[in-house]
Structure 1
Amino acid sequence: MSVKTILRGKGGDIFSMASDATLQMVVAELAKRKVGALLIIDGERLAGIVSERDVVRVIARDGPSALTSPVSAAMTQKVETCGLDEPIHDVMSRMTASRFRHMPVVEEDRLVGVISIGDVVKERIEEAERERDEMQAYIHSV
């Protein structure tokens, strides 16, 4: 199974904000979209990713006034991405090892979606259930 399988099921919606957004704008967009992270776009370029965790960390450090800060105060600038054909198991390992929950999907230098660790775990569980069902069907047919 590959990342393509996940995006086929959930779609390729990409929620993003411009790099000149404030953390208050980010918080409002996260709440509106009911997502845990937003991609930060600078023109056509992926400039970073900002998550709920990032925002909480900055507010804990700087207090409520942090909400007037630019998104660059909280975002991760070195964003790890994956490709459509990357195996789900590899993506899950990378996300777990690096301790992040959202990964942009890129195809030929173009953003095509975002997957979360929840999406990956859901797909792995469904895959395990399919394998179990196939094994049970095989056992009952013998």
Structure 2
Amino acid sequence: MKTLQQILNNKHNQGIISIAPSRPVYDALVILAEYEIGALAVIKDGNLVGIFSERDYAREIILQGRSSKSTLISEVMTDKVITANPADLVESAMNTMLEKRIRHLPVVENGKMLGMLSIGDVLKETIDYQQELIRQLESYIHS
């Protein structure tokens, strides 16, 4: 099974898409739509300080009747960020995401964010890995 670093290396690298905590939520929504993603890293002074996701928007803006133009990211972001190490295996990331009920997992090494994986990234890699195992087993059986 691959490491998270291997998955990050194979992703179409757009760089780390992020937003500052001092920006309005509306700006984050524009970025999410532009890149067709579900979450943004919240970066302050080069450090990961939170994540802002569509889930945060739904729960903290829509359901609370707040304005996305006047509410700051820092007010509604998830600030208890669960991260992974680039050397972690995909299976470990999948387990973390399922146990913690999260859809986005920042990969961090020595305090520096290397990238973000979605549950879709991890699921795709898991399926690819299982299909390769099946192919190898079928090859072994038929030889």
With the length of structure 1 as denominator, give the TM-score of the two structures. 0.93
Q: Where does the alignment leave 5 or more consecutive residues of structure 1 unmatched? A: none
Gaps in structure 2 of 5+ consecutive residues: none
Please give the residue correspondences for 1:122-141 in structure 2 after superposition, counting only pairs within 5 Å: 122-141=124-143
Shift, 1:62, TM fit = 2.5
Q: 2:65 aligns with which of 39, 63, 66?
A: 63
- For residues 33-71 of structure 1, what are the alpha-carbon distances to aligned partners after superposition, in whole Å with 9 as ceiling and x for unaligned? 111000011111111001001011122333252442011
For residue 26 of structure 1, what is the aligned residue in structure 2?
28
Question: Where does residue 41 of structure 1 map in the other structure?
Answer: 43
Task: Give the length in aligned residue pairs.
Answer: 141
Q: Which has the higher helix share?
A: 1
**Identity between Structure 1 and Structure 2 (%):** 36
Worse overlay, 74-83 or 122-131: 74-83
1:63 partner SS: coil
Q: What secondary structure is seen at the aligned counterpart in 2 of 1:131?
A: helix
Aligned pair partner of 2:110 in 108, 111, 131: 108
CA distance in 2, matches of 1:42, 1:28: 19
State how far apart, in whole Å, the 2-side matches of 1:67 and 1:95 are.
31
CA distance in 2, matches of 1:56, 1:126: 32
Which of 91, 95, 109 matches 1:93?
95
Is the contact between residue 41 and residue 47 of structure 1 (CA under 8 Å) also seen in structure 2?
A: yes
CA distance in 1, matches of 2:96, 2:18: 23
Q: What is the Cα deviation at residue 6 of structure 1?
A: 1.2
Whether the aligned pair in 2 keeps the contact of 1:103 and 1:116 (CA below 8 Å) is yes
